Amino acid sequence: MKPGQTGDGRCSIPLSSSPHKRDPGSRRKIDGMKFPKPPGIVPLDNILPDEPLLMMGAGPVPIPNKVAYANSLVINHLGDTMNKVVDQVKIMARYVFQTSSGHVMGVSGPASAAMEMAICNLVEPGTRVLSICGGLFSRRLAEMAVRVGGDVVRLELPDQEPARPEQVEALLKDGRFQVMTIVQGETSNTVWNRDLAEICRIAKSYGCLNVVDAVCTLSTMPMEMEEWEVDAVITGGQKGLSSIPGVSLIAFSDDAWERIEKRNAPMAHWCLDARLADQFWNKQAYHYTAPVSGVLALHEALRLVCDETLPARFRRHAMCSAALQGGVEAMGLELLTPAYCRLNSVVGITVPDGISAERVRHAMSELYKVEISGAFGLNILRIGQMGEQSRTHNLFRTLHALGSAIRAVGGKADLPAGMAELERVLASNANVA
């Protein structure tokens, strides 16, 4: 029996004789702490709406049950189980990105974190960067490049117009650019850069690495990383893939990875250092604790994409978006972007004169439990057609809510004509969605 113990192993030393004497003022310190009373917090049940809103804005989007279930699980972020999950995420991501690159990885953070990973690893102080700017998110890429010391030249596009290959090449000829940034679709104003493939090939012919934001487009329309000579593709989970926000994807080409490995300037961003992330995603080593629940959710979202196949998924998105657009126009409303450069995955709608987009959105949310997006300073509405949003039952509910809300706030909308046109387009493609 050890000194200080009774026969049953309990301590026999009086508390007062402990070598670590209690501070007589400790009780007073606890009682007198600066914030002794916990805050009064309202439970989530009292914050969330009684009836969940149908998320039909520019993201996040509704998620399938299998994705939601996967997001409820927690496993060890290291070990055989996680390694198998990560391997399959990379295999499926290669299919979605259309690449055989060995430099595919997840990013713990929103799509903007994936954007920043691409920029801060490829751009050093003094790197010449050509940024094609046509809206909020393409300008965000340019700003990120400036913040890491890039020598950035912006090509500012006219409102509601895509980038043209000839104007990009005119700058590339004499610019000595090393990196070009561009979006496939500009979420903020619903413009599609329809000549993306040609622009990327032209830039590559001038020795320029291409960084493409495919956040709102990946898996909703073709994005062929290898065929189009793209060097970095970024996307978020919460849009076309129908996963949760907070876990994103990025893929680097071999040329991009060579530049990353040869960079001279120290990497200021530890979490976003692609070489450190590569340790976890491709070498089964530790970087930081990965968001395992989000990775599991992303795994299931990608698996559902692969089960559907990309060609079938592209057809579904194109048909649903065309039906929605036709219904909107049949109601007497005007689409924001010309047809030749109109983004299918986020549909922009011009609000009738004298009507507030915010009031329409509020009415849709409060009266019909459908949530769509406004814009960044523009009096427009945006309806998402990404992933689970592109389902026929969601289209009927959303279009009806839109027309009814416009009427409720004093605007005009031919709701019967809009619903009839929506049904006509969907009926002609009954087996697609």
pLDDT digits (tens, 9 = 90+) for 422-433: 999 999 887 665
Domain spans in the chain, listed from the N-terminal domain onward? 65-308, 309-427
pLDDT digits (tens, 9 = 90+) for 234-293: 999 999 999 999 999 999 999 999 999 999 888 989 999 999 999 999 999 999 999 999
* Fold observed for domain 309-427: Aspartate Aminotransferase, domain 1 (3.90.1150)
Kind plus residue range of the DSSP H or E element containing 131: strand 128-133
Angstrom distance (rounded) from CA 338 to CA 371: 24
pTM of the model: 0.89
What pLDDT, on a 0 to 100 scale, did the predictor assign at position 73?
A: 96
Q: Is the dihedral of CA 294, 297, 301, 307 positive or negative?
A: positive
What pLDDT, on a 0 to 100 scale, did the predictor assign at position 17?
A: 45
Per-residue burial over 64-96, b = 16 or more CB atoms within 10 Å of its CB, e = otherwise: beebeebbeeeeebeeeebeebbeebbebbbeb
Distance of alpha carbon 130 from the chain centroid:
23
Q: Give the residue ranges of the chain where pLDDT is below 70.
A: 1-31, 431-433
What pLDDT, on a 0 to 100 scale, did the predictor assign at position 36?
A: 82
* Fold observed for domain 65-308: Aspartate Aminotransferase; domain 2 (3.40.640)
- 127 touches 179 (CB < 8 A): yes
Q: Which two tokens stand for residue 282?
A: 């491709």
Kind plus residue range of the DSSP H or E element containing 422: helix 415-427
Query: Of 333, 337, 361, nearest to 348 (Cα)?
Result: 337
How would you class 390 by CB atoms within 10 Å of its CB: exposed for 0-12, middle for 13-18, buried for 19 or more? buried
